[in-house]
Amino acid sequence: MFEVTSTGKWPAGYLINPNAEPIDPQWIQTYSKIPAAAVSDCLGRNSGGLGLKAYHGNRPMLGSALTVRVRPGDNLMILKAMQMARPGDVLVIDGSGDQTRAVFGGIMRAMALKAGIVGVVINGALRDLDEWQTGELPVYALGVVHRGPSTDGGGEINVPISCAGMLVMPGDLMIGDGDGVVAAARTELPELLTRCHDLLAREKATLAGIEAGTLDPARFDAILRSKGCPI
In a domain, 142, yes or no: yes
In a domain, 128, yes or no: yes
pTM for this predicted structure: 0.91
Reference 43, options 140, 166, 135; nearest CA is 166
What per-residue string of b and e applies to 193-212 under the rule 16 or more CB within 10 Å gives b?
beebeebbeeeeeeeeeeee
Tally of domains within the chain: 1
Q: Are strands 139-144 and 166-168 parallel, antiparallel or unpaired?
A: unpaired
Q: In CATH, what number is assigned to the domain containing residue 188?
A: 3.50.30.40
Answer for the pair 219, 58: CB distance below 8 angstroms, yes or no: no
When computed from its CA atoms, the radius of gyration of the chain, rounded to whole angstroms, is 20
Q: What is the pLDDT of residues 18-31, one digit of tens each?
A: 999 999 999 999 99
Q: What local confidence, expressed as pLDDT, does residue 67 receive?
A: 98
Q: What is the pLDDT of residues 136-183, one digit of tens each?
A: 999 999 999 999 999 998 999 999 999 999 999 999 999 999 999 999
Q: What local confidence, expressed as pLDDT, does residue 12 receive?
A: 86
Reference 206, options 218, 194, 216; nearest CA is 216
Q: What local confidence, expressed as pLDDT, does residue 3 receive?
A: 41
In a domain, 230, yes or no: no
In a domain, 107, yes or no: yes
| pLDDT beyond 80 at 47 | no
In a domain, 44, yes or no: yes
What is the distance between the alpha carbons of residues 173 and 151, in angstroms, rounded to a whole number?
A: 28
Answer for the pair 121, 50: CB distance below 8 angstroms, yes or no: no
Q: Domain range for residue 152?
A: 14-193
Q: What local confidence, expressed as pLDDT, does residue 116 receive?
A: 98
7-16, 38-47, 50-59, 194-203: the lowest-pLDDT one: 7-16
Q: What local confidence, expressed as pLDDT, does residue 8 receive?
A: 67
- Give the bridge partners for 122, in sequence order: 93, 141
Q: What is the mean pLDDT of residues 121-149?
A: 97
What is the distance between the alpha carbons of residues 165 and 10, in angstroms, rounded to a whole number?
A: 27
In a domain, 160, yes or no: yes
- Percentage of the chain beyond pLDDT 70 is 97
In a domain, 153, yes or no: yes
